[in-house]
């Protein structure tokens, strides 16, 4: 199916679209009130609206989309997917700031606050809300109409011991600190707010609509207009969304199926920490028209049998056969309770309906396209087999990459492609444990040793997982050196697996494959080249994203942490200049001062720290060698 045919089949529904380049990399993620209208704009006059859009459109080779219920859901899903995929043409917030929530604090005389962080503090969280301005205005409205407290005083036993603040004297607080309001009255107000934020009650809106009509009848249009604006903000917050959940511990998969003539398309949405972060689809052959419980049973066993991560809950349309046995099997594999749920109502049912809608849409419009894509991928893999003389076509390919910042806290990645399609459920991340400094060879050796040692052990005990299934071909991001590292690990473990390397030219662009000490240059327009390039880029992307996520969580530590006068900027400059902690440790003050952001005081701090020299001794040392002036 060409691009024009896909555009003609776009639904006139809200959703999120993902633009892809010729190598199947996601280059842009956007949202739309109408997918049909919005996506078509990119291939009309909007394509030339500015240089960025023009450049992006020139690289669009394909696209896919996810249908949602409303515009709010599309906004939240767009944000989640951008943060997870880092598309080239999206603007990405580096501080990872998320949409705000409204929090009812778990305390006597609860406060109602805006927050961007969800804590495990037994408080109630509602949201997230993309309309930040609406959150601020609604909180002002609550403050005005309910006179709730905003202070952080401990009021478990107030007994009138606190002096009222200014809010009490200007009529914005009922002063529970003075005992001016009983718990029951205060809790009734909080309950009304809670029911509104939960979408269970619209009494607040109804009261305001009556007030607006009253002021309008009195010709007080200014007050009526102000209340009208408040109603707009309230309705904006009250719009239901199921894309994100405030349960930060929630990990669940939602599975729906769409039946074709001889195949079943299974759509799986992955929810991690309460947010949809991605989806995958699979085809099941069904020649004998099995019923839904049999299909559910077969899919769950095959899909989760090979996964290392099992979510706490699996939501599915039909109860699978052998439900108790399946739950026991998954619980033992997860080492924690796993529940298979068939919801009849509520948010889980709404979420399941959304997944079902996407599965039906994909099957009805693109079922043949995905089957053809699979056939083309297998043909391409057979071409690769013939080009480099592999013993068989590589059905399963694993690719590895290493990422670090000047050798600090290296991480490794393993990506898996089966029949040319990324199998993200089998991707794995590795934190390098035994290597210090920027040593990619040793880091790769550690990653491969850990991966295949575990694979051998799990295979030995008949444990089905992504590790126990060995690849037909390993692709290393590099040449003979990387290949030799892989071969040494495999030889030591007595494994016979084919290994090739992906080599680059002087411009750091992949030029070909090295296999058994012979280099095969590739035509960049060939399907084989496009496939190996896509695999290589995916391994690199996965490693970089893991590295970024660890940095953003402040996981990275360094021996430079805690040294006086050494902040993030100087730490980065030091690592860039010396490339390793060991060289910094052994550097003289003169050598440390060669770093652009260093001064004598910071150089002394480092020199003293690694030698345990007191300042006075250091001063004598300096005076005997060189003169430095602050």
Is the predicted pLDDT of residue 303 greater than 50, yes or no? Answer: yes
Per-residue pLDDT tens for 109-118?
999 999 888 7
How many whole angstroms separate alpha carbon 519 and alpha carbon 526? 17
CATH class of the domain whose range is 389-546: alpha beta
Query: Which residues, including other chains, have CB under 8 Å from residue 353's CB and lie 6 or more apart?
Result: none
| CATH 3.30.9 assigned to 251-385 | no
Looking at residue 305, what is its pLDDT?
A: 73
By mean pLDDT, which of 186-200, 234-248, 472-486 is the weakest?
A: 234-248
Looking at residue 362, what is its pLDDT?
A: 83
Per-residue pLDDT tens for 325-343?
899 988 988 888 999 999 9
How many whole angstroms separate alpha carbon 438 and alpha carbon 148? 56
3-85: CATH, from 1.10.150.20, 3.40.50.150, 3.40.1440.10, 3.40.50.261 = 3.40.1440.10
Is the predicted pLDDT of residue 247 greater than 70, yes or no? Answer: no
DSSP 525-580: TSHHHHHHHHHHHHHHHHHHHHHHHHHHTT----TTTT-TT--HHHHHHHHHHHSS
Looking at residue 625, what is its pLDDT?
A: 35
Q: How confident is the prediction for the chain on average, in pLDDT?
A: 82
Query: Looking at per-residue confidence, does 241 or 97 come out higher?
Result: 241
Q: Is the peptide bond before 467 cis (omega within 30 degrees of 0)?
A: no
By mean pLDDT, which of 216-230, 533-547, 589-603 is the weakest?
A: 533-547
How many whole angstroms separate alpha carbon 378 and alpha carbon 357? 29
By mean pLDDT, which of 396-400, 408-412, 524-528 is the weakest?
A: 408-412
The residue among 155, 43, 172, 171 whose CA lies nearest residue 108 is 155
Task: Quickly name the fold that domain 568-625 has.
Answer: DNA polymerase; domain 1 (1.10.150)
Is the predicted pLDDT of residue 464 greater than 60, yes or no? Answer: yes
Q: Is residue 319 within 8 Å of 313, Cβ to Cβ? A: no
Which residues are registered as beta bridge partners of 401? Answer: 413
Among 222-231, 258-267, 461-470, top mean pLDDT goes to 222-231
Length of the chain, please? 630
What average pLDDT does this structure show over 422-449?
Answer: 85
The two beta strands, 408-418 and 396-405, are: antiparallel
Per-residue pLDDT tens for 154-206?
888 766 567 888 888 888 888 888 888 888 999 999 999 988 888 777 888 88
3-state SS assignment for residue 60: coil
Kindly compute the dihedral angle of the four CA atoms of residues 101, 107, 112, 113, in this order, to the nearest 10 degrees: -50
For CATH 1.10.150, list the domain ranges present in the chain.
Answer: 568-625
Looking at residue 537, what is its pLDDT?
A: 86
CA angle 570, 573, 575 (to 5 degrees): 110
Looking at residue 426, what is its pLDDT?
A: 84
Q: Is residue 610 within 8 Å of 585, Cβ to Cβ? A: yes
Looking at residue 262, what is its pLDDT?
A: 66
Q: Is residue 29 within 8 Å of 92, Cβ to Cβ? A: no
Query: Looking at per-residue confidence, does 516 or 510 come out higher?
Result: 516
pLDDT band at residue 565 under the 50/70/90 scheme: confident
For CATH 3.40.1440.10, list the domain ranges present in the chain.
Answer: 3-85
Residue 306, φ and ψ in degrees, nearest 5 = -105, 5
Residue 13, φ and ψ in degrees, nearest 5 = -135, 155
In which residue are the tokens 């060939």 written? 526
For CATH 3.30.420.340, list the domain ranges present in the chain.
Answer: 389-546
């Amino acid at each position: 199916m060409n691009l024009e045919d896909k555009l003609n089949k776009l639904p006139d529904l809200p959703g999120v679209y993902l633009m892809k380049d010729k190598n199947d990399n996601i280059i842009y993620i956007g949202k739309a009130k109408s997918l049909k209208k919005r996506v078509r704009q990119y291939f009309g006059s909007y394509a030339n609206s500015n240089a960025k859009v023009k450049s992006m459109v020139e690289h669009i080779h394909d696209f896919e989309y996810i249908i949602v219920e409303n515009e709010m859901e599309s906004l939240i899903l767009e944000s989640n997917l951008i943060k997870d995929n880092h598309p080239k043409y999206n603007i990405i917030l580096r501080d990872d700031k998320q949409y705000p929530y409204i929090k009812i604090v778990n305390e006597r005389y609860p406060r109602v606050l805006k927050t961007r962080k969800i804590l495990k503090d037994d408080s109630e969280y509602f949201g997230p809300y993309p309309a930040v301005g609406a959150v601020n205005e609604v909180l002002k409205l609550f403050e005005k109409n309910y006179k709730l407290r905003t202070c952080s005083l401990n009021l478990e036993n107030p007994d009138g011991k606190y002096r009222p603040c200014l809010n009490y004297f200007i009529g914005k607080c009922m002063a529970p600190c003075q005992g001016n309001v009983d718990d029951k009255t205060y809790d009734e107000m909080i309950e009304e707010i809670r029911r509104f934020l939960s979408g269970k009650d619209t009494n607040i809106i109804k009261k305001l609509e009556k007030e607006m009509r009253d002021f309008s009848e009195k010709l007080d249009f200014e007050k009526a207009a102000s209340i009208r604006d408040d109603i707009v903000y309230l309705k904006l917050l009250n719009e239901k969304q199921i894309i994100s959940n405030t349960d930060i511990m929630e990990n669940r998969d939602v599975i729906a199926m769409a039946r074709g003539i001889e195949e079943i398309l299974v759509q799986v949405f992955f929810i991690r920490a309460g947010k949809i972060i991605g989806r995958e689809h699979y085809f099941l052959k069904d020649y004998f028209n099995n019923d839904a419980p049999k299909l559910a049973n077969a899919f769950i066993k095959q899909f989760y049998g090979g996964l290392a991560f099992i979510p706490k809950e699996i939501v599915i349309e039909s109860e699978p056969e052998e439900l108790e046995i399946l739950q026991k099997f998954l619980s033992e594999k997860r080492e924690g309770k796993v529940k298979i749920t068939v919801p009849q109502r509520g948010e889980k049912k709404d979420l399941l309906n959304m997944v079902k809608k996407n599965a039906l849409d994909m099957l009805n419009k693109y079922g043949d396209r995905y089957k053809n894509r699979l056939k083309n991928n297998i043909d391409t893999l057979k071409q690769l087999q013939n080009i480099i003389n592999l013993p068989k076509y590589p059905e399963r390919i694993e690719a590895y990459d290493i990422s670090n910042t000047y050798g600090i806290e290296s991480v490794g990645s393993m990506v898996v492609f089966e029949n040319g399609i990324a199998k993200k459920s089998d991707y794995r991340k590795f934190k390098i444990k035994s290597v210090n400094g920027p040593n990619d060879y040793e880091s790769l050796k550690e990653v491969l040793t850990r991966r295949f040692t575990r694979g051998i052990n799990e295979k030995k005990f008949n444990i089905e997982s992504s590790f126990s299934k060995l690849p037909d071909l390993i692709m290393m991001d590099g040449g003979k050196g990387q290949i030799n590292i892989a071969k040494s690990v495999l030889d030591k473990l007595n494994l016979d697996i084919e290994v090739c390397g992906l080599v680059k030219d002087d411009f750091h662009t992949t030029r070909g494959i090295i296999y058994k000490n012979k280099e095969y240059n590739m035509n960049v327009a060939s399907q084989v080249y496009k496939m190996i390039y896509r695999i290589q880029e995916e391994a690199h992307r996965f490693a970089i994203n893991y590295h970024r996520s660890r940095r953003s969580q402040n996981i990275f530590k360094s021996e430079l942490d805690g040294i006086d006068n050494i902040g993030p900027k100087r730490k980065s400059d030091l690592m860039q200049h010396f490339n390793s902690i060991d060289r910094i440790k052994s550097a003289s003050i003169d050598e440390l001062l060669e770093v652009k952001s260093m001064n004598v005081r910071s150089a002394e701090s480092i020199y003293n720290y690694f030698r345990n020299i007191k300042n006075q001794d250091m001063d004598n040392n300096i005076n005997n060698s060189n003169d430095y002036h602050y």
